[in-house]
Amino acid sequence: MSTNDHIDGLLDNNQRWATETEERSPGFFSRLLKQQTPQYLWIGCADSRVPANELVGLLPGELFVHRNVANVVVHSDLNCLSVMQFAVDQLKVQHIIIVGHSNCGGVRAALQDLRVGLVDNWLRHVQDVRNHHQDWLDQLPEEQRVNALCELNVLEQARNACQTTVVQDAWSRGQSVAVHGWVYGLHNGLLKDLSVTAAGPDDVGPAYRRALEALQRRYEAAMGR
Ligand SMILES: [Zn+2]
């Protein structure tokens, strides 16, 4: 089979999907054409094993999505900030969910100082998270460290999202928007809430500290301490 046959297969799949979707819900696409009214913004990893809509059972039009390597939210990333601003200011999403996943290749590269290429510069942000928690991470068995850093990274990126001008301005206008941090288990297909939810500026520090303590206790308990 040539490469073209493979790529044509995708277009065939798409035709079937469009037909089936329209049959299941007549008028589906013409309704979506008029507007999108998603309640949620998903900021997740680009990893192909973490398909946002599928994991949470949402249809086209129901989830606004931004993905990058290792689900990073940084204040200098105009791409992510633009998505956040459109989602919050125009679409009025109620929830921003930062979603990491276990065994993230980006997080592993950051943890182990692996040189991959251009992405090393991007992963400096995750290395900052690692460095911040280095002493604690060093106590863990080596095989636990990647997943622990995946979760720590979610907490840090959720806190970053809270501190963006987009979210801060929404909160100061009295707009209802909550930031959440979840982690997806590649091994079992399940999402876990890391309970770092913040719905206003006063929530951010306490939610982060509680979630960090809970995360650390969970890993320490698994070590039998
Ligand atoms: Zn990843």
- For residue 184, the tally of other CB atoms under 10 A from its CB is 24
Q: Are strands 191-193 and 40-45 parallel, antiparallel or unpaired?
A: unpaired
- What sign has the CA pseudo-torsion 41, 44, 48, 51? negative
The mean pLDDT value of the chain amounts to: 96
Query: What's the pLDDT at 35?
Result: 82
Query: What's the pLDDT at 5?
Result: 73
C-alpha to C-alpha distance for 68 and 71, rounded to whole angstroms:
5
C-alpha to C-alpha distance for 157 and 57, rounded to whole angstroms:
24
Contact of 117 with 61, CB cutoff 8 Å:
no
45 assigned to active site = yes
C-alpha to C-alpha distance for 66 and 167, rounded to whole angstroms:
16
pLDDT in tens, 157-187: 999 999 999 999 999 999 999 999 999 999 9
CATH topology of domain 36-222: Beta-carbonic Anhydrase; Chain A (3.40.1050)
Give the pLDDT band of residue 34 (cuts 50, 70, 90): confident
Q: Which residues pair with 40 in a beta bridge?
A: 63, 95
Query: What's the pLDDT at 6?
Result: 87
Q: 71 alpha carbon to ligand 1 midpoint, in Å?
A: 7
Query: What's the pLDDT at 36?
Result: 86
Q: 224 alpha carbon to ligand 1 midpoint, in Å?
A: 28
Q: 68 alpha carbon to ligand 1 midpoint, in Å?
A: 8
Instruction: Please indicate if the annotation marks 45 as binding a ligand.
Output: yes
Radius of gyration of the chain (CA): 19
pLDDT in tens, 194-206: 999 999 999 999 9
Percent of the chain whose pLDDT exceeds 70: 99
47 assigned to active site = yes
Domain locations in the chain?
1-34, 36-222
In the predicted model, is pLDDT for residue 19 greater than 90? yes
Question: Which residues, other chains included, contact 84 with Cβ-Cβ below 8 Å and sequence gap of 6+?
Answer: 41, 43, 66, 73, 96, 161, 164, 166, 167
- Out of 66, 101, 145, 180, the active site residue is 101
Averaged pLDDT for residues 13-18:
96
Instruction: Please indicate if the annotation marks 101 as binding a ligand.
Output: yes
Q: 70 alpha carbon to ligand 1 midpoint, in Å?
A: 5
Q: Which amino acid is at 94?
A: Q
CA–centroid distance for 170 within its chain: 20
Averaged pLDDT for residues 86-104:
98
- Out of 80, 104, 150, 162, the active site residue is 104
In the predicted model, is pLDDT for residue 1 greater than 60? no
Alpha-carbon distances, residue 221 vs 109, 175, 186 (angstroms): 26, 39, 22
- What sign has the CA pseudo-torsion 201, 106, 44, 65? positive
Give the pLDDT band of residue 148 (cuts 50, 70, 90): very high
In the predicted model, is pLDDT for residue 51 greater than 80? yes
> Torsion-angle region of residue 182: left (phi > 0), alpha (psi -120 to 50) or beta?
beta
The pTM (predicted TM-score) of the whole model is 0.95
